[in-house]
Amino acid sequence: MMPLKRFALISLALLVPGLGLTACDRGPAEERAAPVRGLKAMTVSESAAVQLRRYPSVIEPADQSPLSFEVGGRIEKLPMEVGMDVEVGDLLAALDARSYELQRDQADARLDEANANLETARSQYRRNQELAEQGLVATKTLEDSKSALDAAVAQASQAERQFNLAERDYGKTRLLAPFTGRIASVTVDPFEQVSPGQRVGAIYSEQGFEVSFSVPASVLEQLEVGTAVRIDVPDLKLEAVQGRISELGNRASEVSSFPVTVTVVEPPPRLRAGMAAEVELDVAALRGAGYLVPLSAFEFDANEDLQMAGRLWVYDAESSTVSSRMVQISGVRGNELIVSDGLEIGDVVAVAGVSYLREGQRVNLLPMQE
């Protein structure tokens, strides 16, 4: 009878080679049984000669005016407040008018005196005319009375101008709303001393809005006054805002940056000045026409310029494999990029899961994306 210890060693020796053989066989089998990855793809077909460009801006009132006094003084009343709706002619602010009132009263008194002197000089001249016709006064007396009348006329005219100026200045101590609108800003405080022409606030009309932004010369030459554009206003959610180009600047506000103004067409009721906006323009692609490919189809190397080149995975029907291909990018339209070089009509391009693909990998093509 075989000892128990020897029997255990022989059994272990026979078992180990079997385990090794089983392990060696399972590796290649599992590799051969690895599932083929499904590939979501699209067929290149849609060409594009324009790209979508977005320019950030702010909704501004089309009719906005600064507010200021034409005379200086101390602010006595300041009823206007930011955001307050006003009607044309409403009182917005008033200066202490006592000194201007005194000047007007003094000018009025001088005017009365000058008019009285004028009437006296006119009566004296008429009397001398009658006496001269009767030969009762000398010719020099008549001439002197005529000179006195002319001087009185000049003095009365000057006094009237001074009174009108004093009356005007007195009226300028009240700042009235030039049109119906809303107060945009108030830049002074009650009892503050202000100078003529110093800005004390601003008012704007809600009847019209516009946005302004700057574009390079290459874009400016493609734009025309009157062209319809879309304005995206995030605060309005999905409510569409349409605009029309109203002004194109002929002189750059900065180096190679030209101003463009877009007027809002039929502003939505909820649109307000100060809301953030983004203007969308369709302009020619940087390097001509190309094909539209979803952004999800691209891989970008760290050393590649996203605006110039990207990597796509192209499906080969004969071998059911994919291979990478570098392509040239010329522009953007929404969530798609315009490929100007590296693709042809009919190419099948992966549009999802591209980070998991590798060169020569076999794939199972899923139903094509339209």
Query: What type of residue sits at position 227?
Result: T
Q: Which backbone phi and psi does 154 adopt, to 5 degrees?
A: -65, -40
- Rounded mean pLDDT, 111-136: 92
- Rounded mean pLDDT, 333-358: 87
Question: Can you tell me whether residue 119 is helix, strand or coil?
Answer: helix
Q: What is the pLDDT of residue 20?
A: 39
pLDDT at residue 274 greater than cutoff 70:
yes
Interstrand relation of 50-58 and 276-284 (parallel, antiparallel or unpaired): antiparallel
- Rounded mean pLDDT, 197-224: 88
Residue 268: exposure state from Cβ atoms within 10 A (0-12, 13-18, ≥19): middle
Q: What is the pLDDT of residue 162?
A: 96
pLDDT tens digit string along 317-329?
A: 999 999 999 998 8
Residue 59: exposure state from Cβ atoms within 10 A (0-12, 13-18, ≥19): buried
Mean pLDDT, the chain, whole residue set: 83
pLDDT at residue 171 greater than cutoff 80:
yes
* Residue 303 contacts residue 259 (beta carbons within 8 Å): no
**Number of residues assigned to the chain:** 370
**Which residue would you say has higher pLDDT here, 262 or 301?**
262
* Residue 325 contacts residue 314 (beta carbons within 8 Å): yes
What tokens were used for 116?
A: 């009285």
Q: How many CA atoms lie within 13 A of 333 on its CB side?
A: 20
Q: What is the pLDDT of residue 3?
A: 44
Q: In what order do the strands lie in the sheet with 41-43?
A: 41-43, 348-350, 309-316, 321-333, 336-341, 290-294, 47-48
Q: Which backbone phi and psi does 92 adopt, to 5 degrees?
A: -105, -35
Q: What is the pLDDT of residue 18?
A: 40
Instruction: Name the strand (E) or helix (H) holding 354.
Output: none
- Rounded mean pLDDT, 165-175: 95
Collect all residues with Cβ–Cβ distance below 8 Å to 125 and sequence separation of at least 6: 142, 145, 146, 148, 149
Instruction: Give the separation between CA 355 and CA 299, rounded to whole angstroms.
Output: 7
pLDDT tens digit string along 9-55?
A: 333 333 334 433 333 444 444 444 445 678 999 998 867 666 678 89
Q: What is the pLDDT of residue 284?
A: 64
Instruction: Give the separation between CA 299 and CA 303, rounded to whole angstroms.
Output: 12
Collect all residues with Cβ–Cβ distance below 8 Å to 352 and sequence separation of at least 6: 40, 296, 297
Q: How far, in whole angstroms, is CA 33 from its chain's centroid?
A: 59
pLDDT at residue 89 greater than cutoff 70:
yes
Instruction: Give the separation between CA 18 and CA 23, rounded to whole angstroms.
Output: 9
Q: How confident is the model at residue 288 (pLDDT cuts 50, 70, 90)?
A: low
In this prediction the pTM is 0.50
